[in-house]
Amino acid sequence: MLDTLRRIVQEVNNAPDIPSALDLMAKRVRDAMGTEVCSIYLRNNSEERYVLMASEGLKREAIGRVSLGLSEGLVGQVGLREEPINLEDAFAHPKFHYLAETGEDPFHAFLGVPVMHHGDVLGILVVQQRDARRFDQSEEAFLVTISAQLSAVIAHAHASGALFEQLDAHENLPTIYDGQSGASGAAIGQAVLLFPETDLSSVPDREVEDVNAEIGLLDEALVRVRQEIRDLAERAKKSLGAEEQALFDVYLRMLDRHALPAEVVAKIREGHWAQGALRMVVDAHVHNFEMMDDPYLRERAADVRDLGRRVLGQLQSRNRRQIEFPDACILMGEDISAPMLMEMPQERLAGIVTTRGSRNSHMAIVARAMGIPTVVGCQNLPLKKLDGKELIIDGFRGRVIANATAELKDQFEDIIAEEKHLLAGLEKLRDLPAQTEDGQRICLQVNTGLMTDINRSIERGAEGVGLYRTEIPFMVRDRFPSEEEQRLIYREQLAPFAPHSVTMRTLDIGGDKALSYFPIEEENPFLGWRGIRVTLDHPEIFIVQVRAMLKASEGFDNLRIMLPMITSVFEAEEAQHLIHRAWLEVREEGVDVAMPPVGVMIEVPASVYQARALAQRVDFLSVGTNDLTQYLLAVDRNNRQVSDLYNSFHPAVLHALLHVVEQAHEEGKPVSVCGEMAGDPASALLIMAMGYDALSMNASNLLRVKAAVRQVNMGFLRRLLNEVLAMDNGEVIASYVDLQLTKAGLGELTRHRKSG
Ligand code: PEP
Ligand code: MG
């Protein structure tokens, strides 16, 4: 049975389009179960009906025409009950609804199972048979299993829009498509679909006689593509820092004669024409990347695909499609690469949405740096249907809204206007202290990674850097940066903030952050070789990085070094020992720097309970609430399936935070928070009430948090904290805090979390 199941799923997944996938599914399930009918009804949300979309055994002319209301007939019952209905004689059931057009008269036995996806009923899979008999347990189990396995295909079919196009033609109901936030902010604009004009997959196989002429064609195309990338990099300089330019270097290196092109040339020499050879090489690389478990490496498939498209475009010497960009443009595509972003007039770019990709894609990194509201991984977005339509991008929550009602649109227009207004109003706080009405101060710092973060941070009056994610410059390259390259990058971080401190975290890779040139393949990466575990196993990488940091700080002495993913005092001691060694080395080389303060991140539950022991050994602690929440609640921070469970107001998180600050202060050591909680005014205030010394956040949240701090007093905050610490439900806590802050006049500052 398992083999049959696997075969069906594989075949269906390989079907060329969705209607064929559904047909195939019906046919194969009918054959595998030896029944007479297998039908697939899909739920059409705008019609609120189940539509017969494929059938083997019922009349073909009924397909696409016959439908049932959501509570109509046995199909409706399966949907309502969200469980299988297995009947010996369907005709005898009171809910049976006879559909003459289908020709189902002779079929008595009925088994229907719901097709569920993320808790929603997408459709109903039905098998029927002439003989009045109950389908047995194993048949029922088979149908349930196949339905669960095929639900992703059906989810795609369901959402692609194409299936229901005719039925929907007159309907324009508001629809919300869920994805992941790539960059926060809200935007309204007109969707422009970016699709590859040159389609590699359609290139046929052809043989060539004149191999050299074909190689000549390829070389010419490559020269033009390299120039195109250089031009884009030049254009990007205006909106991106020098650091992000490394993205384009990666592209250029892929186009180096010895990289991808060498493989294409080898294929041409085997007798293939250039276009076909290119398709084979690109396909192989894309396939390899896509098979990788690591989400970051999977993203590289998009880069290779994009390059392949560009080279093919030149080989085909087609004129580029001239795209009309509206004034407020929402770029939409399956994958949008960072260079594609640069191809459009920047001043018109309002938002971005992609159906693939994740927060780790290069494009998302660049979008965050540019402050463009972005939603990624919006799998169900019917791209072709939405081209040219007005869309709302809710980058706060990772959603896209199409056909918004006037009310919804008004609401988002208000949010956008308020955001603008708020930011303009907040600018006057730049040089004022982050201090409560009764004089309690807290230090507000920024999290940085890209060079572009620096200017935005300084403009907003950051008091130093609480977390510099050093892995970001490593991620945008295709090899480890050298000690000297690192020194230069780090100096650019340290110089503008001096005399304020800059907390540089040592390389934190593994989990969801990988380097294409240092792949880590694991079953369970978040519980695997991550952060300090990797660098302690590779002192040659760790020491080079620390040496670069120390050298970079010469003359400023504002460096602090922070260790990620610490779970035991042993790791902290081991790392301190290596840092000390690196310090002695650079001193011997004549670099005049003091030994910098060294601290650890508290981001796994073990370190919460080791906080005191750790505080005794290091100079400071900083809580990484992103990982701490994920590990305390056992909720993957990047998994959409469980994103509703990821709640930083969970009592376990709040009590852990309280424990850490108490332990650190018992040892007289400063402690900060550098996860997303620090940048959310509501949680930031609770953290302040706990007694934390500093908060470190994205530059875009800094003034918002400062404004919140300046509008409250410590009496109010302590009372609020005590109240929530006595509560046992994270959802209730989150709503209660929002309510209390709104009552205290801070609604405007906290609203972005509740938008829409
Ligand atoms: C955290 O885990 O909270 C944190 C700040 O680190 P990162 O998000 O880079 O894992
Ligand atoms: Mg972390």
Tell me the mean pLDDT in the region 678-687. 96
pLDDT of residue 166: 37
What confidence tier does 753 reach under pLDDT thresholds 50, 70, 90? low
SS3 240: coil
Collect contacts of 95-104 with beta carbons under 8 A, ≥24 apart.
97/68, 97/72, 97/73, 99/62, 99/66, 99/68, 99/73, 101/59, 101/61, 101/62, 101/65, 101/66, 102/52, 102/55, 102/58, 102/59, 102/62, 102/66, 103/58, 103/59, 103/62, 104/37, 104/58, 104/128
Task: Judge if pTM exceeds 0.75.
Answer: no
pLDDT of residue 538: 96
Place of tokens 């040496």: 547
pLDDT of residue 488: 95
674 lines ligand 1 (CB under 6 A): yes
Tokens of 367: 């979008």
pLDDT digits (tens, 9 = 90+) for 570-584: 999 999 999 999 999
**Exposure of 579 by Cβ count < 10 A (0-12 exposed, 13-18 middle, 19+ buried)?**
buried
Tell me the mean pLDDT in the region 363-379. 83
Å from CA of 137 to ligand 2 middle: 47
pLDDT above 60: residue 754: no
Position in ligand 1 atom list of the atom nearest CA 676: 3
> Which residue of 475, 603, 687 sits with most ligand 1 atoms within 8 Å of its CB, as the best mutation to test the pocket?
603
pLDDT of residue 267: 92
Characterise 206 by phi-psi region: left (phi > 0), alpha (psi -120 to 50), beta (else): beta
Nearest to 646 by CA among 665, 631, 666: 631
pLDDT of residue 667: 98
Cis peptide before 496 (omega within 30 of 0): no
464 lines ligand 1 (CB under 6 A): no
pLDDT digits (tens, 9 = 90+) for 131-183: 988 999 989 998 998 888 778 777 766 555 545 543 443 346 678 888 888 88
Å from CA of 602 to ligand 2 middle: 9
pLDDT of residue 157: 61
Q: How far is CA 296 from CA 252, 269, 282, 475, in A?
A: 19, 33, 18, 9
What confidence tier does 74 reach under pLDDT thresholds 50, 70, 90? very high
Atom 4, ligand 1: which residue's CA is nearest? 624
Tokens of 751: 């609203």
Position in ligand 1 atom list of the atom nearest CA 630: 2
339 lines ligand 1 (CB under 6 A): no
627 lines ligand 1 (CB under 6 A): yes
> Which residue of 453, 601, 630 sits with most ligand 1 atoms within 8 Å of its CB, as the best mutation to test the pocket?
601
Nearest to 569 by CA among 616, 636, 506, 627: 616
Range name among 259-268, 311-320, 454-463 with the lowest pLDDT average: 311-320
pLDDT above 50: residue 105: yes
Cα 507 to chain centroid, rounded:
21
Q: What percent of the chain has pLDDT over 90?
A: 53
What confidence tier does 438 reach under pLDDT thresholds 50, 70, 90? very high
> Which residue of 368, 453, 469 sits with most ligand 1 atoms within 8 Å of its CB, as the best mutation to test the pocket?
469
Which residues participate in catalysis according to the annotation? 362, 674
What beta strand segments (E) does 296-342 contain?
A: 329-333
Residues with CB under 5 A from ligand 2 (ion): 603, 624, 627
Tokens of 738: 């929002």
471 lines ligand 1 (CB under 6 A): no
pLDDT above 70: residue 487: yes
Question: If you write DSSP's letter for every residue of 495-555 in order, what string do you get?
Answer: HHHTTS-EEEEP---BTTB-BTTB----SSGGGSS-THHHHHH-HHHHHHHHHHHHHHTTT
CB atoms within 10 A of CB 266: 12
Atom 8, ligand 1: which residue's CA is nearest? 626
Å from CA of 502 to ligand 1 middle: 16
Tell me the mean pLDDT in the region 531-545. 97
332 lines ligand 1 (CB under 6 A): no
Tell me how long the chain is: 756
Q: How many DSSP H helices and E strands does the chain contain?
A: 29, 22
Decide if 394 contacts 416 (C-beta within 8 A).
Answer: no
Cα 373 to chain centroid, rounded:
13
461 lines ligand 1 (CB under 6 A): no
611 lines ligand 1 (CB under 6 A): no
Those residues with Cβ within 8 angstroms of residue 67's Cβ, 6 or more apart along the chain or in another chain: 41, 44, 47, 49, 50, 51, 52
CA distance 31 to 22: 14
Pairing state between β 374-376 and 390-394: unpaired
CA distance 168 to 501: 58
Å from CA of 404 to ligand 1 middle: 35
SS3 55: strand
Tell me the mean pLDDT in the region 377-399. 87
- 296-312 exposure pattern, b = at least 16 Cβ within 10 A, e = fewer: bbbbbbbbbbbbbbbbb
Structural Rg of the chain based on CA atoms: 29
The bound ligand whose nearest atom lies closest to the alpha carbon of 359 is: 1
pLDDT of residue 530: 95
638 lines ligand 1 (CB under 6 A): no
Atom 1, ligand 1: which residue's CA is nearest? 624
Decide if 264 contacts 277 (C-beta within 8 A).
Answer: yes
CA atoms lying within 13 Å on the CB side of residue 249: 13
Q: Sheet containing 109-117: give its strands across.
A: 67-69, 49-56, 37-44, 120-129, 109-117, 85-87
624 lines ligand 1 (CB under 6 A): yes
The bound ligand whose nearest atom lies closest to the alpha carbon of 675 is: 1
The bound ligand whose nearest atom lies closest to the alpha carbon of 698 is: 1
The bound ligand whose nearest atom lies closest to the alpha carbon of 622 is: 1
pLDDT above 70: residue 751: no
Which is higher by pLDDT, 623 or 459?
A: 623
